[in-house]
Amino acid sequence: AQAVLDFAREEATKAGVECETIERKGSLASIAEEEEKSYDLVVIGRNGEHVQLRHDVLGRSVHEIVRHSDKPCLVTADRHFT
């Protein structure tokens, strides 16, 4: 997980975007609900790293976060490395 966060932070920095990454353990939906209070935008991957779903389906936790969030959500594609 840390490698993915480091990659995201590096790419954001290269693009001139201020970025903070957080690694926490626990229920994704509960953590997102708690953390979003401190931020303007929720950015989350479409599926978890071990899920094997069709390409047009959001992961269950991602769907829950987007549906219940009070903040704008950016859901990224499952393939983010170039």
pLDDT bracket for residue 77 (50, 70, 90): confident
Does this model's pTM top 0.95? My answer is no
Whole-angstrom distance, CA of residue 17 vs CA of residue 47:
24
Helix 60-68 vs helix 28-35: angle between axes, to the nearest 10 degrees? 30
Q: Tally the residues of the chain.
A: 82
Mean pLDDT of the chain: 82
pLDDT in tens, 10-49: 999 999 998 888 888 888 889 889 989 998 998 888 766 5
- Cβ contacts of residue 6 below 8 Å, gap of 6+? 21
